[in-house]
Amino acid sequence: MSRERMSQEAIAAAMVGVPGWSLVEGRLELKEAFSDFAEAFGFLSRVALLAERADHHPEIWNVWNRVRLTLWTHDAGGLTTQDFALAAKINAALGR
């Protein structure tokens, strides 16, 4: 997977493959609400395992049943194919 920054055209095309994610200030962002804290934290545990295997770690925000994940590649100064690959794996963990 490339750690080179993607063009705006490539990003627009890749967005089709990650439903539920938004572009916010040049980063991928996912917002999810769960039934309670335990369900949200369980999801975050699955994300942690995926992120560790990918050696690519999202910014994570959690309050009770709400989760927000943000992805971008710091080294590249923007989005890369690695971000979209992890977003797709996270979507799979959500059953998307």
Domain coordinates in residue numbering, the chain = 8-93
* pLDDT one-digit tens code per residue, 9-40: 999 999 999 999 999 999 999 999 999 999 99
* pTM, rounded to two decimals: 0.94
The two beta strands, 27-33 and 59-63, are unpaired
CATH (one of 3.30.420.310, 3.30.1360.20, 1.10.150.120, 3.40.50.2300) for 8-93: 3.30.1360.20
* pLDDT one-digit tens code per residue, 59-78: 999 999 999 999 999 888 89
Q: How far does the chain reach from its first CA to its final CA, in angstroms?
A: 22
